[in-house]
Chain A
Amino acid sequence: MSIIDSALDNTRETFRRDQVWSFLKEKEVSVDVSHQIILYIEGLSVSFDGFKALNDMNLYINDGELRCLIGANGAGKTTLMDVITGKTQCDEGSVYFGQTHNLLEKDEAEISQLGIGRKFQKPTVFEAHTVLDNLELSLKTNKGVIPTLLARLSSTEILKIDEVLETIGLKDHRMMLAGSLSHGQKQWLEIGMLLVSEPRLLLVDEPVAGMTAQETEHTAELLKSLAGDHTVVVVEHDMEFVRSIAKTVTVLHQGSVLAEGTMDEVQNNAAVREVYLGDES
């Protein structure tokens, strides 16, 4: 019995759809990081009805680093992520992924396929789908119509999903509808969706909002372990949390960069103390 099974498995593996039909395979994207910088943001401005949400912002993210963005409510952190991921059009400036990919020319789907993953401030998962389906949809695969119609989970993909389910602690909930998860679990699921998509650059907007102290710690560990292979940009209000993960912190204020450096440098920066940390402590 088991011999037949393994023989079947072997045949299945050899005749996997994506191996038989090469067009089902996803295209590899190459990102030119020869200058160690993965994201170039230069002179970026966005205004809503005359109000400048981003004002001539310049920001460079190194390949493989873990960067924290902090700033008061309305400083433009979410708007920045919206521009990078193609959701919001900017008025001026340039955004490059590596040296060659001009993100301002691309739409949301293409930017995602380049390997830029995003976790939203408000957890957004597909509520009518199970946890498993949410992860399946997020896998790094060819997202074209026909390949998706013919897609089956391969054994490597199932392993990948299992691994992520373990990481996000939803192993026992895989068949549960995402809509019936708790707020914290949805946060985790969304992080899981980010992980299975194996992005090159992760944009994480307020990941620990609504999490317990223990979960926060777990998230910090996770983000730290991701940096290196991936580049991670985290927006967070929780100073404790930022201190525990970040080497470099960028402070945004009224749509521009106010200061950049280690947590200690930033906290001792006079301008920062005045406008941001000052009214916290």
Chain B
Amino acid sequence: MSFLNSVFSTKWLDRGDQAGSRTMPFVLLLLVVTFLASFCNLALPADSVFYVSTYTITLLGKYLCYAMLALAVDIIWGYCGILSLGHGAFFALGGYAMGMYLMRQIGDRGVYGNPELPDFMVFLNWTELPWFWQGMDQFWVAMVMVALVPGLLAYVFGWLAFRSRVTGVYLSIITQALTYALLLSFFRNEMGFGGNNGLTDFKDILGFSLQEDSTRIGLFITTALMLSLVLIASHAILKSRFGKVIVAIRDGEDRARFIGYRTERYKVWLFVYSAVIAGVAGALYVPQVGIINPGEFSPVNSIEIVIWVAVGGRGTLIGAVIGAILVNYAKTRFTAIMPDGWLFALGALFVLVTLYLPKGIMGLFDQFNERRNKNKAVDVQETAS
């Protein structure tokens, strides 16, 4: 009993004085749930009460990708105060890189049976692979691109914006413009990314069929492991002196400059790190949902991510993860009942959180803990007297 108490006690979840110190227990919890769910899918018969369907596994995998994306936004917004409304673009770019690899894996199993060219290129009467599709049939090349393309874009964008000291709402607007510009260009057929329809009809990844339950489980577990890794790495980075400089920039950029930090460099590198995480999340997302199209660049998507983070509580890492999972679960349930109402519900949620829960769910959690500790202190005093 006392063991159970200590395992489930929230005290255990918040050792230390900083919200970030809950990362390790949370990662443990995440991994336990992941392996339990996978086990219940693979080992239990379909009529068992504890059976987890493959549909649910894929849904969970999708939520974890969103969680990683939210984490990327929290790193830059929660810790450095840069409200990026363009992270959907980095996510989509990572997704497209993975999609290109998956397209090339189809080989001659496409509708037109062309061993070299994806269907949409045959349809456009193209005769050879564009240069930027070369090498994308190699998994490792695609994986390098997953990190490199969002990272490079973030570097160039960040370098231009931060060096000319663009901040606040202006920066947010530019990031929206960035994702909107990408949306428009990816819609064009001539871009060579499948235009309106995007990339889809994937068959297999690394030789494993995407229809198999075991592949789905593999992708789900990979996502959970990557999310854990990113949580731990981000925790370490933000705990280091570099992380302290980042928070210092958030709360007083001028002051940080006057004690000798080149703040724009710090911001650029954090932005690149965050963009790469978003790209990786996108790459994990695409094989699980089976499609990537320009809709992922839609400016509304990027705004949604910010709401996930706000709901979870920014500047806490795991708050972003929890927020993304909860809001997306709500979205799944809500759109099943009222498909058109979701945007209104999301807007209302955002207003409510901003007004009543400025620190999000994690803030609520802290308040609850504080009150409990106070009560406990009173109890101790009473028993003592």
Q: How many residues of A contact B (CB 8 A)?
A: 30
CA distance A113 to B265 in the complex (A): 16
Q: Of A126, A136, A197, which is within 8 A of B251 by CB?
A: A126
Give A80-134 interface residues, CB cut-off 8 Å to B. Answer: 85, 87, 107-109, 112-113, 117-118, 120, 124-129, 133
> In this assembly, does B261 line the interface, its C-beta being within 8 Å of a C-beta of chain A?
yes
Is the CB–CB distance between A145 and B241 below 8 Å?
no
Point out the residues of chain B lying under 8 angstroms from A138, CB to CB: 259
Fill in one digit per residue for A165-190: 1 if any B CB lies within 8 Å of its CB, else 0. 00000000001000000000000000
Give B237-279 interface residues, CB cut-off 8 Å to A. Answer: 237, 240-242, 244-245, 247-248, 250-252, 254-263, 265-266, 269
Q: Of A113, A133, A149, which is within 8 A of B260 by CB?
A: A113
Provided the pairs A109-B262, A128-B251 are in contact, do residues A148 and B245 lie with their beta carbons within 8 angstroms? yes
Q: Of B250, B255, B260, which is within 8 A of A143 by CB?
A: B260
Point out the residues of chain B lying under 8 angstroms from A85, CB to CB: 258
Q: Of B17, B251, B260, which is within 8 A of A109 by CB?
A: B260
Point out the residues of chain B lying under 8 angstroms from A129, CB to CB: 244, 247-248, 251
Q: Of A128, A150, A175, A197, which is within 8 A of B259 by CB?
A: A197
Provided the pairs A87-B254, A127-B251, A145-B266 are in contact, do residues A136 and B241 lie with their beta carbons within 8 angstroms? yes
Is the CB–CB distance between B261 and A109 below 8 Å?
yes
Point out the residues of chain B lying under 8 angstroms from A38, CB to CB: none
Total A-B residue contacts, Cβ distance less than 8 Å: 77
CA distance A87 to B255 in the complex (A): 11
Is the CB–CB distance between A126 and B258 below 8 Å?
no
CA distance A222 to B265 in the complex (A): 35
Is the CB–CB distance between A112 and B241 below 8 Å?
no
CA distance A279 to B252 in the complex (A): 37
Point out the residues of chain A lying under 8 angstroms from B251, CB to CB: 126-129
CA distance A193 to B261 in the complex (A): 14
Provided the pairs A126-B251, A127-B251, A128-B251 are in contact, do residues A148 and B258 lie with their beta carbons within 8 angstroms? no
Point out the residues of chain A lying under 8 angstroms from B254, CB to CB: 87, 108, 124
Interface of B is mostly: helix
Point out the residues of chain A lying under 8 angstroms from B259, CB to CB: 112, 117, 137-138, 143, 193, 197
> In this assembly, does A151 line the interface, its C-beta being within 8 Å of a C-beta of chain B?
yes
CA distance A144 to B247 in the complex (A): 16
Tell me the minimal C-beta distance from A163 to chain B in angstroms: 19
Point out the residues of chain B lying under 8 angstroms from A133, CB to CB: 244
CA distance A113 to B257 in the complex (A): 10
Provided the pairs A126-B252, A127-B251, A129-B248 are in contact, do residues A145 and B257 lie with their beta carbons within 8 angstroms? no
Is the CB–CB distance between B257 and A107 below 8 Å?
yes
Q: Of A126, A136, A150, which is within 8 A of B247 by CB?
A: A126
Point out the residues of chain B lying under 8 angstroms from A87, CB to CB: 254, 258
Closest to B268 in A: A145
Is the CB–CB distance between B242 and A112 below 8 Å?
no
Tell me the minimal C-beta distance from A179 to chain B in angstroms: 9
CA distance A78 to B34 in the complex (A): 58
Is the CB–CB distance between B257 and A137 below 8 Å?
no
Tell me the minimal C-beta distance from B339 to chain A in angstroms: 42
Give the residue among A109, A124, A125 with the most B Cβ atoms within 10 A.
A109
Provided the pairs A124-B252, A126-B248, A126-B251 are in contact, do residues A137 and B241 lie with their beta carbons within 8 angstroms? yes
CA distance A133 to B259 in the complex (A): 13
CA distance A113 to B261 in the complex (A): 9
Provided the pairs A108-B257, A137-B259, A138-B259 are in contact, do residues A145 and B242 lie with their beta carbons within 8 angstroms? yes
CA distance A245 to B65 in the complex (A): 62
Give B195-253 interface residues, CB cut-off 8 Å to A. Answer: 237, 240-242, 244-245, 247-248, 250-252
Is the CB–CB distance between B240 and A151 below 8 Å?
yes
Tell me the minimal C-beta distance from A88 to chain B in angstroms: 12
Provided the pairs A143-B260, A145-B266 are in contact, do residues A137 and B242 lie with their beta carbons within 8 angstroms? no
Fill in one digit per residue for A193-209: 1 if any B CB lies within 8 Å of its CB, else 0. 10001000000000000
CA distance A177 to B255 in the complex (A): 17
Tell me the minimal C-beta distance from B254 to chain A in angstroms: 7
Point out the residues of chain A lying under 8 angstroms from B244, CB to CB: 129, 133, 136-137
8 contacts between A and B (CB under 8 A): A87-B258, A120-B255, A125-B255, A129-B248, A145-B265, A148-B240, A148-B261, A150-B240
18 more A-B contacts (CB under 8 A) besides A109-B261, A149-B242? Answer: A109-B257, A112-B259, A117-B259, A120-B255, A126-B252, A137-B244, A137-B248, A138-B259, A143-B259, A143-B260, A144-B262, A145-B242, A145-B262, A149-B237, A149-B241, A151-B241, A151-B242, A197-B260
